[in-house]
C-alpha cells in the first residue's frame, strides 16, 4: 500500500449532513458514512473529485495552496492549465488572461498548453516505437493513472512514460527563469500551477514525477478566477500579451484534444470516470492492439470538467473552440523527434491492489464466504442508510469489523414487524411527530424557521 | 474453514452491452482473495471470451466459478443451439457469428482458442439443440 499518500479531497464536517450523495457516486467505494458524516478511505481514494461535484452541501473540498503562496517567492511564474482559458465569457484573445496573470503579481507566465504541444509531438514519435505495449494510455489524468495502478496490473506498462505537460512546462519555466535571472536561487523561483482539478494537486504533492518535480505550488482555477477577472477587466483596452500556444495545446483542455494531436485515427478517447473504468475493463480483457492511443479523462468533458473550475464543462469547451480557431496548429515543436531522457517519468507505475480481504488466502476465503452468507440476508436495496454504498460493501464492512451489524434499517424494521417489539409505541410516536409539525403550520404558529 | 469459494452469475443474453460484466466481477473477487495478477488475468480473459460466446450464440446462460488454493474452475452453461463440430469450432479463425456481431468487433473466431490458451484444462460438453457446457481450470 502507498504510505503517507497525500490526498487533496477533504471534508468539512460541519457542513456534511451524512447524506448518501457522495457515497453512491464514488467510483472506488472509498466513502462511508460514519457517525453522521462522510469518511474517506485514503487507500482507495483516487482524488477524482466526483464527491466534490456531487455534494449538495458543499462539504467536500479540494485542498490546494492558497493564493497567498505567491508571497513566498521572489520570482513567480504562473503555469495556467489550458482549461483556464475556457472560463471567461466573451473572451476573444488569450492574451488578456496572460496580461491579467501578470497584473495579479506573476513575473512571468508559462502556458501549460505550450508544453502540451511538445508532449503531443513526443507522443507521435513514441507510439511508432517497437516493443512498446499498445495501446499507449495517456499519462495526463492522474486519477486514471492511479486507478490503473490499483486495479489493472497488466495495464501499468501501457501508460505513457513521458511526463505530462504540466511537469514539462514547470521544467522549462524554471530553466527560463534561471536563464533570464541568473541572480535567482532555486528557492527564489515559485513555479505555480493553476489547476482545474484536485487529482493534479495530489500528483504534485506526492512527487509522482519523482525528483523531477519542478512545481512549487498548486492553486485552483476557482480561487484565482475572480481576482483574475477583475484584473482582466481593468486593462481591457491596453496592449495585449499574446498566447504562444496553438490549437493542439489548447485542445488538451477537453476530451479528444490530446488524441486528435496524434494525427492518426487509431485512438480512443473517453471521459467520465465510470466510462473510463468500463473502457479499462475491456482493454484489460481483450485485444486492443489495433489502437495506438487511449485518452481517458476522469472528468466529464475532460479537464474543463474539473472540480476546481468555475464554468460548465461544455460551455468552456465551446468557448475554447472559438478561442483556438485562428491560432496556428502547433507553434511549439521540439527540436527533434528524440525525446530527452529528463522528460521520461523516472517513477514506474507500481501495482497497488486495493480491497484485499487478507493477504492470507485461507483467511480471505473464510471472510469471502461470510460476506456471501451475510449478503444473502441483506435486502439488496443498496439504499446506503447503513453508511456503505451498497449491501455487498456493507457485508464486507461487517466482516472486516469496520461497522456494526445492526446498521441496516430495513432489517431492523423487518424484525420489529415480525416480533411486534414496541412497534405500536414507535409508530405512534413517529406519526405524532409528523402530525405536530403539520399542525404547527396549519395554525400559522411557529413560523420562525 | 471453507477451502473453496463459489460465485454464480447469470449472463443476460438479451443485453449485448453488458456482456463481459461477470468476468469484471470475478476479477474483483479474486483480487480480494489475494490471487496473483497472472492467475486473475488468465481467469478473466477465459471467462470473458466464454461470456461473449454465450451472449452471441446461446442467448445467455450461467457461469459458476469455484476458487480454491489449487485451482480456479470456471463452468459456463447455456441452453443454446449446441456445437455441431467441436474440433472445427476450436480452430483459430473459425466463426459462425453473423455480420452484425462481426461489425461490433467480435466473431473473429478466437474465442475458443483463447479460452484454451489461457487455461490449463478445458472441456466442452455439447449437444445440438440442447446446449453447451464449457469447463475450464486455471491451476495455481
One domain for residues A102 and A32:
no
Q: Report the distance separating Cα A170 and Cα A116, nearest Å.
A: 12
A128 touches chain B (CB under 8 A): no
CA-CA distances (angstroms) from residue A310 to A106, A211, A321, A422?
Answer: 21, 32, 18, 52
Q: Report the distance separating Cα A99 and Cα A240, nearest Å.
A: 7
CATH of the domain at A407: 1.10.15.40
pLDDT at position A2 is: 42
Q: Taking CB atoms and an 8 Å cutoff, what residues of chain A touch B67?
A: 365
CATH of the domain at B132: 3.30.565.10
A352 domain-assigned:
no
Q: Collapsing DSSP states into helix, strand and coil, what is residue B125? A: strand
Spatial neighbors of B82 by CB under 8 A, at least 6 apart, are B126, B127, B128, B129, B130, B131, B132
One domain for residues A40 and A104:
no
One domain for residues A108 and A13:
no
List the 272-291 stretch of A: residues with Cβ below 8 A of B: 281-282, 284-287
A444 domain-assigned:
no
One domain for residues A253 and A273:
yes
Strands (E), A319-437: none
Q: Report the distance separating Cα B51 and Cα B56, nearest Å.
A: 9
Total domains present in chain B: 1
A431 touches chain B (CB under 8 A): no
For residue A15, give its domain range. 9-62
Residues A321-358: b if buried by 16+ CB within 10 A, e if exposed = eebbeebeebebebeeeebeeebebeeebeeebbbebb
One domain for residues A222 and A83:
yes
A55 domain-assigned:
yes
Q: Which helix (H) or strand (E) holds A158?
A: none
Total domains present in chain A: 3
B104 touches chain A (CB under 8 A): no
- Do B45 and A286 make contact, defined as CB atoms within 8 angstroms? yes
One domain for residues A286 and A434:
no
A449 domain-assigned:
no
Pairing of strands A293-297, A267-271: parallel
One domain for residues A56 and A171:
no
Q: What is the pLDDT along chain A (449 residues), one digit of tens a residue?
A: 344 677 788 888 899 999 999 999 999 999 999 999 999 998 899 999 999 999 999 998 888 999 999 999 999 999 999 999 999 998 989 999 999 999 999 999 999 999 999 999 999 999 999 999 999 999 999 999 999 999 999 999 999 999 999 999 999 999 999 999 999 999 999 999 999 999 999 888 887 666 667 999 999 999 999 999 999 998 877 767 889 999 999 999 999 999 999 999 999 999 999 999 999 998 988 767 789 999 999 999 999 999 999 999 999 999 999 999 889 999 999 988 889 988 998 888 888 888 889 999 999 999 999 999 999 999 999 999 999 999 999 999 999 999 988 899 999 888 888 887 677 777 788 888 888 888 888 766 555 54
**Of A390-394, B86-90, B91-95, where does mean pLDDT reach its minimum?**
B91-95
Among all chains, which residue has been given the C-alpha cell 472559438?
A322
Spatial neighbors of A170 by CB under 8 A, at least 6 apart, are A79, A110, A191, A193, A213, A214, A215
For residue B65, give its domain range. 4-139
Q: Report the distance separating Cα A41 and Cα A22, nearest Å.
A: 13
Q: Report the distance separating Cα B18 and Cα B11, nearest Å.
A: 9
- DSSP codes, A228-246: HHHHHHHTTTSPPP-----
Phi, psi angle pair for A337, to nearest 5°: -75, -15
Domain boundary among A296, A313, A343: A343
List the 172-191 stretch of A: residues with Cβ below 8 A of B: none
List the 334-363 stretch of A: residues with Cβ below 8 A of B: 351, 353, 355-362
A388 domain-assigned:
yes
Q: Which residues pair with A37 in a beta bridge?
A: A34
Q: Say if residues A313 and A300 touch (Cβ distance below 8 Å).
A: yes
Q: Report the distance separating Cα A64 and Cα B68, nearest Å.
A: 46
A349 domain-assigned:
no
One domain for residues A46 and A89:
no
pLDDT at position B97 is: 78
pLDDT at position A1 is: 35
Amino acid at each position: 500500500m502507498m504510505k503517507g499518500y497525500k490526498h487533496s479531497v477533504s471534508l468539512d464536517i460541519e457542513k456534511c449532513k451524512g447524506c448518501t450523495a457522495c457515497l453512491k457516486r464514488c467510483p472506488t467505494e472509498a466513502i462511508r458514512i460514519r457517525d453522521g458524516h462522510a469518511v474517506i478511505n485514503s487507500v482507495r481514494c483516487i482524488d477524482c473529485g466526483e464527491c466534490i461535484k456531487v455534494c449538495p452541501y458543499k462539504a467536500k473540498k479540494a485542498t490546494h495552496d492558497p493564493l497567498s503562496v505567491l508571497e513566498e517567492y521572489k520570482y513567480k511564474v504562473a503555469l495556467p492549465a489550458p482549461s483556464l482559458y475556457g472560463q471567461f465569457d466573451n473572451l476573444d484573445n488569450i492574451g488578456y488572461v496572460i496580461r491579467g496573470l501578470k497584473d495579479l503579481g506573476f513575473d512571468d507566465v508559462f502556458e501549460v498548453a505550450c508544453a502540451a504541444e511538445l508532449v503531443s509531438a513526443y507522443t507521435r514519435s513514441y507510439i511508432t516505437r517497437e516493443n512498446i505495449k499498445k495501446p499507449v494510455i495517456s499519462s495526463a489524468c492522474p486519477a486514471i493513472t492511479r486507478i490503473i495502478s490499483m486495479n489493472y496490473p497488466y495495464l501499468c506498462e501501457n501508460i505513457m512514460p513521458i511526463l505530462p505537460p504540466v511537469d514539462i512546462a514547470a521544467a522549462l519555466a524554471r530553466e527560463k527563469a534561471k536563464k533570464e535571472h541568473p541572480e535567482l536561487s532555486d528557492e527564489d523561483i515559485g513555479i505555480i500551477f493553476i489547476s482545474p482539478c484536485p487529482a493534479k494537486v495530489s500528483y504534485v504533492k506526492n512527487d509522482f514525477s519523482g525528483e523531477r518535480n519542478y512545481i512549487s505550488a498548486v492553486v485552483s482555477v476557482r480561487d484565482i478566477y475572480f481576482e483574475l477577472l477583475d484584473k482582466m477587466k481593468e486593462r481591457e483596452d491596453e496592449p495585449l500579451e499574446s498566447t504562444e500556444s496553438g490549437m493542439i495545446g489548447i485542445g488538451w483542455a477537453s476530451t479528444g484534444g490530446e488524441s486528435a494531436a496524434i494525427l492518426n485515427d487509431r485512438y480512443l478517447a473517453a471521459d467520465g470516470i465510470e466510462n473510463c473504468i468500463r473502457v479499462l475493463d475491456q482493454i484489460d480483457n481483450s485485444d486492443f492492439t489495433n489502437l495506438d492511443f487511449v485518452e481517458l479523462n476522469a472528468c466529464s468533458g475532460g479537464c474543463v470538467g474539473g472540480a476546481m473550475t468555475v464554468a460548465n464543462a461544455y460551455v468552456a469547451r465551446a468557448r475554447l473552440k472559438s478561442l483556438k480557431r485562428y491560432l496556428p496548429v502547433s507553434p511549439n515543436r521540439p527540436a527533434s523527434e528524440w525525446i530527452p531522457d529528463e522528460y521520461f517519468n523516472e517513477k514506474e507505475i507500481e501495482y497497488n491492489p486495493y480491497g484485499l480481504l487478507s493477504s492470507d488466502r485461507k483467511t480471505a476465503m473464510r471472510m469471502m464466504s461470510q460476506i456471501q452468507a451475510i449478503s444473502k440476508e441483506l435486502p439488496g436495496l443498496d439504499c446506503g442508510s447503513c453508511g456503505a454504498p451498497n449491501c455487498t460493501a456493507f457485508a464486507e464492512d461487517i466482516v472486516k469489523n469496520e461497522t456494526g451489524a445492526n446498521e441496516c434499517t430495513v432489517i431492523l424494521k423487518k424484525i420489529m414487524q415480525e416480533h411486534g417489539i414496541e412497534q405500536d409505541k414507535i409508530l405512534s410516536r413517529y406519526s405524532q411527530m409528523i402530525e405536530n409539525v403539520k399542525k404547527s403550520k396549519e395554525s400559522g404558529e411557529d413560523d420562525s424557521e | 474453514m471453507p477451502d473453496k469459494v463459489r460465485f454464480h452469475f447469470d449472463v443476460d443474453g438479451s443485453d449485448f452491452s453488458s456482456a463481459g460484466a461477470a468476468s469484471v466481477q470475478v476479477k474483483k473477487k479474486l483480487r480480494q482473495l489475494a490471487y496473483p495478477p497472472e492467475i486473475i488475468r488468465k481467469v478473466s480473459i477465459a471467462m470473458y471470451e466464454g461470456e461473449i460466446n454465450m451472449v452471441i450464440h446461446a442467448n445467455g446462460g450461467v457461469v459458476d466459478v469455484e476458487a480454491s488454493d489449487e485451482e480456479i474452475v470456471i463452468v459456463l452453461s447455456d441452453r443454446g443451439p449446441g456445437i455441431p463440430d467441436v474440433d472445427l469450432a476450436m480452430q483459430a479463425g473459425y466463426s459462425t457469428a453473423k455480420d452484425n456481431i462481426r461489425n461490433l468487433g467480435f466473431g473473429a473466431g478466437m474465442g475458443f482458442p483463447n479460452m484454451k490458451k489461457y487455461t490449463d484444462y478445458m472441456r466442452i460438453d455439447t449437444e445440438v439443440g440442447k446446449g453447451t457446457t464449457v469447463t475450464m481450470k486455471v491451476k495455481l
